[in-house]
Structure 1
Amino acid sequence: MSSNSEREPLLARRSSLSYKTRLGPHDISKSMRHGILAGIWMATFLSSVNMTLVPTMLPSISSEFQKSHQASWLGTAYLLATATFTPLYGRLANVLGRRGAAQLAVLFTGLGTVACGLSTSMEMLIVSRFIAGIGGGGINTIATIVVSDMYSLRDRGLAQGVASVFNGIGLGFGGPLGGVITDWLGWRWAFLCQVPLFFISLLLTTINLRYVTKGKGKSTKEVLKRIDYFGSLTLLISVGSMLIFLSTRFNENLPWADARVIVPLVLSIVFFLSFVFVEIYVAPEPVLAPFLLKQRIPVLVGVSNFLVASCNFSITYFFPMWFQTVMLTNASTAGLHILPNSISMSVGSVFAGWMMHRTGKYKMINLIFGIFPFIGTVLISQIHENSGWIQSWFSIIPMGFGNAVVLQTMLSALLAHIPESHMAVGTGFGQLFRGIGQVGGVAISSAIFQYKLDNALRERLTMDPDAEAIITHIRQNARSISTLPPRLQRIARDSYAVSLKTVFFFASVSTLLAYIARLPIPEKELDSRPRSNSAAIAPPPTPQPQLGSASALTSNVVGEDEQVRDDDSDSDEDDHPTTPTTPTRMRHGSTRRPVRRLSTFESPDGVLDLESRRIGGSARSFETGSWSGRSGSVSG
């Protein structure tokens, strides 16, 4: 018989064994870490490809379905879903687990992409793009959270820089790949050929993403109750209505008095105000995290993210159009002009990460390289038909490099100025502004472009008796410009040139305002210590019973149960000021009024809550009968 068999509680020994079998994000093997990164970064690449895949395919898709007036929704539907659902994944990463949230994001994106390839109508294709966007934004958020789990604040800048290489390659190759595959195999295969890569990403994520984070598990009912359905719905309707307003007023050129213009505008304003009200006063787990809106640094980072994304997507969507409509190149060649932007973004991300890793600072490189995007957009706005190959191919490089540096440094600045316990929701907060900026960049620049194009064509075709029909034809079918008679072709090319330069000017203003918004953000040295969310820790101390006392062992077990209940009650409290509600029992018999949670399922101890195994996709190991199997402090 073991000498300690009657002196140590059996429950405590099982607890110790359970803890030893768990590995936190800093304790996993190198092969498992590489497998996780391979899975999430492959998904990141595919998500980025889908953002820029469509523009070079629009003429072919519009020709097949004969609905060119709806073609712009193929891009905005994806970005609308991304902007709306991205912040939810900061919550889902805590309550479903890193693996569960990653699986959900990859599945949505993959299924939506398959549906795009099999669509039989423009409406079905738009809905499929929306479904793919639901997961697309989540992939980027989960990838950021997982990297933040596994690396210290100082080291993660370099890791995020490497991650941005895949994001940049995806954004850069989306347009060229869409054009090449469309020319060779047809536009449907541009979607369907991604399916094997989605499957590999899902497989790698499922096998490897199994590390443990500290905290408390939640039941399925509690998880479903706390998701901010109303906030997500009001945000979706508000942004969607604004897109409809911009489309009907500027793309279709309907008068202000038309109900199709007024109604979407009113709905957008009403639902935006409803969204703000819900987030501040109603939602138990607000998708926007209002407490971050009260802090200067997160707000400035959010404004910068919005403006940077607006600049990026204005150029990404309209720079290739310059070469198709003004220079009359084919779709593949036009799409390739985005490739230098992709390469420069990748280099800029790695450079920013390396500099932050080496120096532990972000302010100076932000000040120096943050002005590069403005220089790049000014160079782009000066382009003309007789520009040489250097300006045509390389004027976009400063924009890509500078914006990549900005996004990397701003992520580190945001995470450095908020508690570690708010890392997941803080990441979602930054991604929300970035996602809305992506939608706004495409929608606002499209409205500016269409409005200017209509005016430019009318000025040049004033005396033409068939002016209305010619204007409609040129606006709705850019590919037909090369087939127009010489006089009309010249008018069309000049009108497109003027309109596109207006969009480039809008991008310049956006990136300059972003630079100004970042100036007040202070320096803060990045910490090189490991994160504190690892669950591979020593087992909880257990009081020793008195020898020969049966009641001592009983009281020990009861004491453990009491600790479990206290921890569970604490898990629902935040480190924010209390509000008048019903008192809640606390340790040592004290009471405290519970607060409305503003920081998702995160404990007040500065660690992320665990995800319950019962709701699927838990990123943890589990042993039946272990300490974690109880209703206690570390759920399995």
Structure 2
Amino acid sequence: MPTDTPVSTTPAGGVGFRSERGPILAAMMLAAGLIALDSTILATAVPAITASVGGFDRFPWLFSVYLLAQAVTVPLYGKLADAVGRKPVLLGGIAVFALGSLLCGLATGMTWLIVFRAVQGIGAGAIMPMTMTMASDLYTLRERATVQGYMASVWAASSVLGPLLGGLFADYLDWRWIFLVNLPLSAVAGWMLIRHFHERRSTARGPIDALGAVLLTLGAGALILGLLEGGTSWAWGSPAGLGVFAGGGLALLLFVLVERRARDPILPLGLCTRRPVLAAAAVSLLVGAVLMGVTSFVPTFAQGVLGVSALAAGLTVGVLTLGWPVTASQAGRFYLRIGFRRTSLLGSLLCAAGAGTTLLISAASPLWQVALSCFLIGAGLGMVSTPTLIAAQSHAPWGGRGVVTSTVMFTRAIGSAVGVAIFGALVNARVGDVDPPRPADLEAGTHLVFIAVVVAAVAMIAACALVVEPPPEGAQRDEAESQR
């Protein structure tokens, strides 16, 4: 373990762009904006991309390989940040993301585009966990209530700008600008971090747990790949499907055995099995499942059953990504007054209520009714995700905060992958092999998904009840560290 723990030496002050930490906050928002924008800008340009480079049958891999690369690298970056500091990890992530963006913009075929999207995902795996960890390092619990609003505004803006820019680039410029626009944004974010964010670097480091890192990457990667592509690229019971899960399970078993003996494990099992972390991880897993269930199948339902256009369907589910930052920006005020557990419980109840309203949706429902359900679900998730993460972070020392943050975010990726597998199987069970599916069958299959989303939202209420309030000494420690 490092003997000289890296800490921020950036001056403390108020919260906002005019404070001493304002440039760092702006850099964090810009870095997070890279990921937020990327999550919404690509979908609208898929027709233009496939018309240019071909490979329409493989375009789903543009999303799958990115999510896979991002998910499996998150735990590695979390441990690395606890060892060498947040700044080099975040700068490295921004650089790799920019490189992947450049390569995507120059790609001449779908195969290369998929490979370069993986490079983008490897960089993205560092950006979100590091911005969240840095916010925990730099700001006290009370200050984070305000910072939370700034960060939420990034996602709110991206939910509107992403589809708009994607459509504009694809229709009036060139789809390659969807990726190339990341280059100047990455350069500005990196420059601001280099100039304004300072850390004392560790002078003594323990041996890198290379074997643990390899086993975790292989095991988690195989598990997520199997869940994402099962039933699509191969049958669940096929040799390929069974082999992926068997290989992933074996690698994860070996990973646990290695970590129990490692001197400085890549994922300390003791830290990650404490109740504050387990509760936050359980909530995050369910958040990922609910989010994937709604965003994946509401557009299909809106187009295939309600008969609306692709644009209208996308805007409908986009209301969810708008509801999320609206409540996330206010969640800080709630947890300062009523506590973290009650705030997350309130959010989970709102999410469950929104999920319940989806059971009232039918083929005769107006589009605004579907959008309202999405907004309520997103608003509930916005009040759940950040308070549970901050509560878990507050129970960890500086040298474990990166691991805690990355663990919670990693479980959301697992939840999303599990959600894809379960919800997809439910729909396929009703739709069968009919292509295109009959509206009645699609409605019945989507209704099963809505029921499963309700179950996951109710389970989220139980998980939120287990959230542990930050200890008083945690708030004092945050205050002391932010002043260093």
TM superposition score normalised by structure 2: 0.87
Contact kept, 8 Å, 1:241 with 1:268, in 2: the verdict is yes
CA pair 187-445 structure 1, distance change in 2 beyond 3 A: farther
Partner of 2:479: 531
Aligned residues, how many? 473
CA pair 532-332 structure 1, distance change in 2 beyond 3 A: same
Partner of 1:628: none
Deviations 1:229-283 (A, max 9, x none): 3333323322333344446641246372x3222322221221221222233333x
Partner of 2:457: 511
| Matched residue SS, 1:499 | helix
Contact kept, 8 Å, 1:292 with 1:299, in 2: the verdict is no
Partner of 1:587: none
C-alpha separation between the residues in 2 aligned to 1:435 and 1:255? 20
CA pair 387-209 structure 1, distance change in 2 beyond 3 A: same
Q: Is 1:251 the counterpart of 2:239 in the alignment?
A: no
Q: What's the C-alpha RMSD, in Å, of the aligned pairs?
A: 3.0
C-alpha separation between the residues in 2 aligned to 1:443 and 1:376? 22
Equivalent in 244, 247, 251 of residue 264 of structure 1: 244
C-alpha separation between the residues in 2 aligned to 1:523 and 1:535? 23
User: How far off its partner does 1:420 sit?
Assistant: 4.9
Deviations 1:506-545 (A, max 9, x none): 3322222122122233445666545333685xxxxxxxxx
Unpaired stretches in structure 2, ≥5 consecutive residues: 1-7
User: How far off its partner does 1:448 sit?
Assistant: 4.3
CA pair 62-501 structure 1, distance change in 2 beyond 3 A: farther
C-alpha separation between the residues in 2 aligned to 1:404 and 1:354? 13
C-alpha separation between the residues in 1 aligned to 2:429 and 2:267? 33
C-alpha separation between the residues in 1 aligned to 2:92 and 2:110? 26
C-alpha separation between the residues in 1 aligned to 2:108 and 2:423? 29
C-alpha separation between the residues in 2 aligned to 1:38 and 1:154? 19
Partner of 2:93: 105
User: How far off its partner does 1:201 sit?
Assistant: 1.5
Q: Is 1:386 the counterpart of 2:364 in the alignment?
A: yes
User: How far off its partner does 1:399 sit?
Assistant: 0.9
Partner of 1:26: 12
Partner of 2:282: 303
Q: Is 1:333 the counterpart of 2:319 in the alignment?
A: no
Unpaired stretches in structure 1, ≥5 consecutive residues: 1-21, 458-470, 475-490, 537-636
| Matched residue SS, 2:261 | helix
User: How far off its partner does 1:501 sit?
Assistant: 3.2
Map 1:274-289 → 2, pairs under 5 A = 274-282=254-262, 284-289=263-268
Contact kept, 8 Å, 2:12 with 2:483, in 1: the verdict is no
| Matched residue SS, 1:387 | coil
C-alpha separation between the residues in 2 aligned to 1:533 and 1:134? 30
Map 1:15-94 → 2, pairs under 5 A = 23-26=9-12, 30-94=18-82
Deviations 1:442-489 (A, max 9, x none): 45444544454335x2xxxxxxxxxxxxx3xx3xxxxxxxxxxxxxxx
| Matched residue SS, 1:430 | helix
C-alpha separation between the residues in 1 aligned to 2:368 and 2:83? 50
User: How far off its partner does 1:421 sit?
Assistant: 4.6
CA pair 276-180 structure 1, distance change in 2 beyond 3 A: farther
CA pair 53-321 structure 1, distance change in 2 beyond 3 A: farther
CA pair 112-387 structure 1, distance change in 2 beyond 3 A: same
Compare CA radii of gyration and give the structure with the larger one.
Answer: 1
Map 1:278-427 → 2, pairs under 5 A = 278-282=258-262, 284-357=263-336, 359=337, 361-427=339-405
Partner of 1:497: 443
C-alpha separation between the residues in 1 aligned to 2:359 and 2:112? 37
TM superposition score normalised by structure 1: 0.68
More deviation in 330-339 or 403-412?
Answer: 330-339
More deviation in 148-157 or 436-445?
Answer: 436-445
C-alpha separation between the residues in 2 aligned to 1:150 and 1:390? 41
C-alpha separation between the residues in 2 aligned to 1:52 and 1:106? 18
C-alpha separation between the residues in 1 aligned to 2:329 and 2:366? 30
Partner of 1:441: 419
| Matched residue SS, 2:255 | helix
User: How far off its partner does 1:23 sit?
Assistant: 4.3
User: How far off its partner does 1:142 sit?
Assistant: 1.2
Partner of 1:204: 192
Percent identity over paired residues: 26
Deviations 1:54-87 (A, max 9, x none): 4444444445554344332221211112211112
Q: Supply the AA of the counterpart residue of 2:481.
A: N
C-alpha separation between the residues in 1 aligned to 2:175 and 2:361? 30
C-alpha separation between the residues in 1 aligned to 2:230 and 2:212? 27
Contact kept, 8 Å, 1:55 with 1:317, in 2: the verdict is no
C-alpha separation between the residues in 2 aligned to 1:255 and 1:404? 34
Equivalent in 466, 476, 481 of residue 520 of structure 1: 466
Map 1:579-594 → 2, pairs under 5 A = none
Contact kept, 8 Å, 1:54 with 1:74, in 2: the verdict is no
Deviations 1:572-599 (A, max 9, x none): xxxxxxxxxxxxxxxxxxxxxxxxxxxx
C-alpha separation between the residues in 1 aligned to 2:203 and 2:171? 51
Judging by fraction of residues, say which structure has more helix.
2
| Matched residue SS, 1:300 | helix
Contact kept, 8 Å, 1:154 with 1:356, in 2: the verdict is no
CA pair 292-528 structure 1, distance change in 2 beyond 3 A: closer
